[in-house]
Structure 1
Amino acid sequence: MKTEFEKGMEYALYLLSLQMRTVKGLEDKLIGKAYSTETIERVLNQLKEVKYLDDVNYAYYFIRSRRLRYGDYRIKLELGRKGVSRNDIEDAYDLMDEEEERLESPEEIVSNILEKKIASTNIDWDRIKSEYKYKYKIYQKLASFLASRGFSHDVIKSVLGKRLADEFIDEE
């Protein structure tokens, strides 16, 4: 007959075999299965000790998988919602900085996303050159889209201004 701890450990390992999880995420799953607080604490501590459960590692891979689509603000917000502490998030970003020379800059990422959005948006380029209200509306639409992706205002303004300047609009 298995003890509650053994059952809890088996369940936790099963969940971790499906996907990476945060400490908080795994804890919530164990609470949902009505394991005792003592059992949950023992399971989590043992998994952290053997590095099967590591919020810094989780955050690092989470950042890597989303960095080309979302800005740092949104990524940090999502990690916070998953229960990752600010210190663990910053440690994960420090690990990312060690590889930074191989990664694209935020401006390059925003530029790539912006090009895809412009391609899928119906924009009347002749009208945008002659009507300020229309130009402003398109600028706001694209800026809002990029902001919803979590990119900083400075990066959005810079990239969007340069891109629209390419269309003979003096945004800069």
Structure 2
Amino acid sequence: MPEISLRERAVRHLARRDHSRAELARKLAPHGSAEEIDDVLNRMHELELLSDRRFAEAWVRSKAARFGTARLRHDLAQRGVARETIDAALAVEGGCTDFDRARQVWSSRFGAAPADAREWAKQARFLQGRGFGGDVIRKVLNETPDESA
């Protein structure tokens, strides 16, 4: 079976989904030298097949309904996306606040206000794990549900 070129491997990965430059470099690392990989990644960028901006925007769009801003930032940083690119992607998604997303995530999971301190802590841990800040969590959990809504 013939050896698959780095360029073909890169195109195959990008055909499945968008990748950040760092992710794609990591996936190609076992198959070539750093210089060869850098050349292939530069060519993919020139052809507009590889874009950290497009990757970050798609990631935020797909995950924003379930996670808070802190979690989205962390996940993108783990994938090698630059801070400026992350900020731009989060600004594009800016239609919904962290509070609105947290309330939606909370209501789909729990739906009822915590009955005691133990339940409050459980719900707070859940929201914290989803990347919502402490002030947002307190607002969501201390809010009295509006019966008219």
TM range, normalised to the smaller chain? 0.7 to 0.9
Moved over 3 A (4+): none
Gaps of 5+ in 1: 129-134, 168-172
TM alignment of 1:88-99, pairs within 5 A: 88-97=85-94
Q: Determine which of 32, 35, 48 is the counterpart of 1:38.
A: 35
Structure with higher helix content: 1
The CA RMSD over aligned residues, in Å, is 2.3
Q: Determine the C-alpha separation between the residues in 2 that align with 1:75 and 1:29.
A: 22
Q: CA deviation at 1:56?
A: 1.3
| 1:66 equivalent in alignment to 2:63 | yes
Q: Determine the C-alpha separation between the residues in 2 that align with 1:105 and 1:94.
A: 11
TM alignment of 1:141-156, pairs within 5 A: 141-156=122-137
Q: 1:29 is matched with which residue?
A: 27
Q: Determine the C-alpha separation between the residues in 2 that align with 1:31 and 1:21.
A: 14
Q: Determine the C-alpha separation between the residues in 1 that align with 2:110 and 2:54.
A: 35
**When the two structures are superposed, what TM-score results if normalisation uses the length of structure 1?**
0.75
| 1:115 equivalent in alignment to 2:113 | no
**When the two structures are superposed, what TM-score results if normalisation uses the length of structure 2?**
0.86
SS of match in other structure, 2:48:
coil
Q: CA deviation at 1:31?
A: 0.8
Gaps of 5+ in 2: none
Q: What is the aligned length?
A: 145
Indicate the percent of aligned positions where both proteins have the same amino acid.
28
Q: CA deviation at 1:91?
A: 2.0
| Alignment deviations for residues 52-105 of structure 1 (CA, whole Å, 9 cap, x no partner) | 1111110111011111100010111111111112122112123334xx2xxx33
Larger Rg: 1
